Amino acid sequence: RAKQKGRNAWECFTSDINDEVSERMALRNDLQEAIEAENFELHYQPLLAAQGGQVVGFEALVRWKHPVKGYLSPGLFIPLAEDTGQIGPISEWVLRQACRDMCRLAAKGYGRYRVSVNLSPLQFRRANFLSNLQQALLETGLSPDCLELELTEGILMSDTAAAVETLHRLRDMGVEVSIDDFGTGFSSLSYLKQLPIGKIKIDRSFVRDVTVNRHDSAIVQGIISMAHHLGLLVVAEGIEEAAQRDFLAAHGCDVFQGFFFARPMPLEKLKAYLTQRGAVPGQGDSLSIPLD
């Protein structure tokens, strides 16, 4: 009987694995169809100046418009796409769409904004990464200073010499670079001083309890102080409460991002958001907003 029970448990276990494998394979096939049909959408989350509160840019966040499952968040398919190599075409689409959307916003008089695009490690390390990027800017007509690339610490740590070289090229092009999810990568701080970057984004995990956990508040204060001494701007992501904003403002954080201010939204909603904040569409590029 015990043997019987044991076999059942094993059968359950293997069938769970089989379910997982076939689920992944199904998702991979669906994703391939989505890539061909361009079934993705970018949602934009505003970034606001800590001083003055004006919108200084948006982060582009990809969603998969799944025919059955609805909008799927990137956490559910970006890791898979990185494993399968499908991240390449998805990234290409994201970059071009973000550039096109920003050009359209400016052309229609909503203002000239900088858009932040998340880069996957594979993309950054590709041999033709820089020429692809140059090509995307030329094709879409976006000015390089309206583009920011978000990299994670991992991307920069794996092959630092090559990464530093690429970052210098980006700086020469006029494209801004920020380090995303800062503080989660266990990386040595010494690498920061040799990187030609402009910004770091404090990870949401430190912001969440910043007002109640003395370790988090110490870490956040430390990051801000260090970044400023290195001449970097600091963005805090994941701000959900006024108390978090107040703490971060009091400690000199430069840019805010989080549900407290605005959730990521599709372009049409973003236009309404900007109009509500005083944009007057139809007035060309007159409503220029400082980028930093």
Contact residues toward ligand C2E (CB under 6 A) are: 45, 61-62, 73-75, 78, 94, 118, 120, 150, 180-181, 204, 237-240, 257-259, 264
Q: How far is the CB of 3 from ligand C2E (least distance, A)?
A: 46
Nearer to ligand C2E, 109 or 257 (CB): 257
Give the nearer residue to Mg ion in terms of CB position, either 46 or 109: 46
Q: Give the span between the Cα atoms of 198 and 59, in whole angstroms.
A: 16
Distance of CA 12 to the CA centre of its chain: 39
Q: Which does residue 78 bind out of Mg ion, ligand C2E, none, counting CB within 5 to 8 angstroms by kind?
A: ligand C2E
* Shortest distance in whole angstroms from residue 227 CB to ligand C2E: 17
Q: Is the CB of 192 or the CB of 236 nearer to ligand C2E?
A: 236
Least distance in Å: CB of 280 to Mg ion? 30
Nearer to ligand C2E, 183 or 264 (CB): 264
The C-alpha atoms of residue 203 and residue 182 are separated, in whole angstroms, by 5
- 12 vs 76 by CB, closer to ligand C2E: 76
Cβ-based nearer residue to ligand C2E, 30 or 203: 203
Measured between alpha carbons, how far is 39 from 45 in angstroms, rounded to an integer? 20
Q: How far is the CB of 91 from ligand C2E (least distance, A)?
A: 6
Find which of ligand C2E, Mg ion, none residue 111 binds, CB within 5 to 8 Å per kind. Answer: none
* Residues near Mg ion (CB under 5 A): 118, 150, 180-181, 203-204, 237
Q: Which does 74 bind (CB under 5 to 8 A by kind): Mg ion, ligand C2E, none?
A: ligand C2E
Place of tokens 């409460």: 241
The interface partner of residue 258, options being ligand C2E, Mg ion, none and the CB cut-off 5 to 8 Å by kind, is ligand C2E
Specify the residue, 61 or 200, whose C-beta has the smaller distance to ligand C2E: 61
Tell the smallest beta-carbon distance from residue 104 to ligand C2E (Å): 18
When CB distances are held under 5 to 8 angstroms depending on the partner's kind, the choice from Mg ion, ligand C2E, none that residue 282 binds is none
In whole angstroms, what is the distance from residue 176 CA to residue 144 CA? 8
Q: How far is the CB of 118 from Mg ion (least distance, A)?
A: 4
On whether the CB atoms of residues 203 and 183 are closer than 8 A, the answer is yes
